[in-house]
Amino acid sequence: MAEQYNWWQTGIIYQIYPRSFQDSNDDGIGDLPGLIQRLDYVQSLGVDAIWLSPIYPSPMADFGYDISDYCNIHPMFGTLDDFDRLLAEAHRRGLKIILDLVPNHTSNQHPWFIESRRSRQSYRRDWYIWRDPAPDGGPPNNWLSIFGGPAWTFDETTGQYYLHQFAKEQPELNYRHPGVLAAMLHNMRFWLNRGVDGFRVDVIWLLIKDELFRDEPRNPAWDGVTPHNSLLHIHTQNLPETHLMIRQMRAILDEYDNRVMIGEISLPNEQLVEYYGPKYDECHLPFNFQLITLPWQATVVRHAVNAYEAALPAQGWPNWVLGNHDQHRLASRVGQAQARVATLLLLTLRGTPTCYYGDEIGMTDGEIPLEFVRDPMAVNQPELAHMLGRDPERTPMQWTAEPNAGFTNPNVQPWLPLAKDYKCNNVAAQENNPTSILNLFRLLAALRSAELSLSVGDYAAVETDAADVFAYTRRAPNAHPFLVVLNFGPESHLLNLSHIAPHAKIAAATDMEARGVVDLATLALEPNQGLLLQIG
């Protein structure tokens, strides 16, 4: 039965932020040869695919999300040869490689933009979004940048403003010009021909903007904190024509075997699921970020899982994301004990799990002294840096207890400081500890791949009378069924789940200690404990 499924359905995706994984040339920044050295570790996790944040040439105004050449590798990360070696070494280990594609904007150093900005008559002018100033000389409309301030920057050379919803160094491409999509499809082919297994497409729901450049209305529900949220983004996000662009991107992937397109989309379920496409001809996986954004409470999460399951179209394959390079670390959001519960949840829900490097060892947000703050989101909005800054979740991987944690030469300054806990919290320390979260992760990944019910089985919520407990079953035909019971709270509970089965065998427990057969009529759940129970 598992053979009927694609690798991106049954597999686990592991996101690597290449700057922070492994440095091999002592410049304090991670690189591809370093990553190759760590592939055995990645394989040991039991994950199936690596999604790499951008590795292309870039002035690094937004750490690679500002690309100046789509068909090459930044020398800081290595060469195309290194990339080919990475691909071969990953494939040899049964690991897929997914690249980050950033089609919405380029770097302002990309030759397209340099040419576009040269003159109003430039043959590339309309590849970007240029507008005359408002009558008062100000920006053409009220659109805001996600990184703070207006989404428009005035360019002296030609006396017009250009659009950027992120840093001013990230001018937005104009997908109403057919040449732009054609060029991006060409870039996709370049990597697909090289053998990459797919793309995670950056802000895919932002590709098209209002043709009339109308002001966006005020958001009546604005909490007064993040300026970008003060408007309702009806003219810059989720426009209907976006789907036409995505279908053409997907058509390119479909020319190749077994590739995946994952869309970065932040929308409520009803709109999110439209990105599967009317004929399942858009994203294979529109990213589902709810486990990151919702309050960590059993009732909230249960409701979210049920609502998402209910919203999915018949052939829409679910997915769940627990962390990424834009959000505070899992263990910092929910605490170490609940990070284990969350890991059990992620790896037993129906749908492809995506986890962020370091979360498998419970890495926490680093403390970033002012002089090290690098993220434009924080640099541009210093008063909100503590909330919005993304440096804390991008600190170097913690491999060992030695200075610089084995990430780079002990005598080198890493590009971001290590999180303070690295001396006790690192891969080496956890490898040999049978109860570590790392070994929990491995056990769950192995079970997920071995047990059909866990990889592809149905999901059904189970009612319990404890508000802090979320329970559900996973079942596939002719396979062991499983019951998952998660305690989101600090109290213990005695549950009667005998309507599911009389007895169950503990297949995994978040503490990595509980074992044996349990009586489901009197199931004792410890504080912050999650159990994966085989019920047949």
Helix axes 178-194, 241-254, angle to 10 degrees: 30
Smallest gap, in angstroms, from Cβ of residue 105 to ligand NOJ? 7
C-alpha 58/C-alpha 67 separation (Å) is 5
Q: Would you please indicate which residues are annotated as catalytic (active-site) residues?
A: 100, 202, 264, 325-326
Under the binding rule (CB under 6 A), the answer on residue 203 touching ligand NOJ is: yes
Shortest approach of ligand NOJ to residue 264 CB, angstroms? 6
User: 97 or 305: whose CB is closer to ligand NOJ?
Assistant: 97
- Judged by DSSP in three states, 297 sits in coil
Residues between 36 and 65 with contacts to ligand NOJ, criterion CB under 6 A: 62, 65
Strand 482-487 with 319-321, pairing: unpaired
Say how far apart CA 455 and CA 85 lie, in whole Å. Answer: 30
3-state secondary structure 168-197: CCCCEECCCCHHHHHHHHHHHHHHHHHCCC
Region 323-342 residues binding ligand NOJ, contact defined as CB under 6 A: 325-326
Complex with ligand NOJ: residue 62 or 391, whichever CB lies closer:
62
CA atoms of 482 and 465, how far apart (whole Å): 20
> Total residues at the site for ligand NOJ (CB under 6 A)?
9
Rounded distance between C-alpha atoms, residue 293 and residue 302, angstroms = 14
Query: Site for ligand NOJ (CB under 6 A): which residue of 35, 98, 101, 102?
Result: 102
Q: How far is the CB of 62 from ligand NOJ (least distance, A)?
A: 5
Q: Which helix (H) or strand (E) holds 89?
A: helix 80-92
- Which residue's Cβ has the minimum distance to ligand NOJ? 65
When the beta carbons of 340 and 390 are compared against ligand NOJ, the nearer one is 390
Q: Are 533 and 507 a contacting pair, CB within 8 Å?
A: yes
Query: How far is the C-alpha of 458 from the C-alpha of 449, rounded, in Å?
Result: 15
x/- track of binding to ligand NOJ for residues 150-169 (CB under 6 A) = ----------------x---
Binding track, positions 166-185, relative to ligand NOJ; x by CB under 6 A: x-------------------
Burial-class residue 314 by CB neighbours within 10 Å (0-12, 13-18, 19+): exposed
Residue 213 one-letter amino acid: F
Nearer to ligand NOJ, 166 or 357 (CB): 166
- In the complex, least distance from residue 167 CB atom to ligand NOJ, rounded to whole angstroms: 8
Cβ proximity to ligand NOJ: between 326 and 458 the closer is 326
Residue 501 has, within 13 A of its CA and on its CB side, a CA count of 16
> For residues 216 and 375, which CB has a smaller minimum distance to ligand NOJ in the complex?
375
Burial of 132 (0-12, 13-18, 19+ CB in 10 A): exposed
In whole angstroms, the minimum distance from the beta carbon of 102 to ligand NOJ comes to: 6
- What number of helices (H) and strands (E) belong to the chain? 17, 19
What part of residues 256-285 is at the interface with ligand NOJ (CB under 6 A)?
264
Look up tokens 């394989």; give the residue: 43
- Compute the C-alpha angle 305/310/314, nearest 5°: 125
The answer to whether the beta carbons of residues 90 and 97 sit under 8 Å apart is: yes
Tell me the per-residue interface mask from 62 to 81 with ligand NOJ, x by CB under 6 A, - otherwise: x--x----------------
* Residues within window 472-501 making contact with ligand NOJ, judged by CB under 6 A: none
| Minimum CB–partner distance for residue 325 and ligand NOJ (Å) | 6
Contact 511, 526 (CB under 8 A): yes
Compute the least distance from the CB of residue 475 to ligand NOJ, in Å.
35
- Output the smallest distance, CB 15 to ligand NOJ, in A: 10
From residue 374, alpha-carbon distances to 32, 343, 395, 493 in Å are 22, 29, 11, 45
**Which residue, 378 or 495, is less far from ligand NOJ as judged by CB?**
378
Distance CA 159, CA 137 (A): 10
Nearer of residues 15 and 398 to ligand NOJ, judged by Cβ = 15
- Which residues contribute to the site for ligand NOJ (CB under 6 A)? 62, 65, 102, 166, 202-203, 264, 325-326
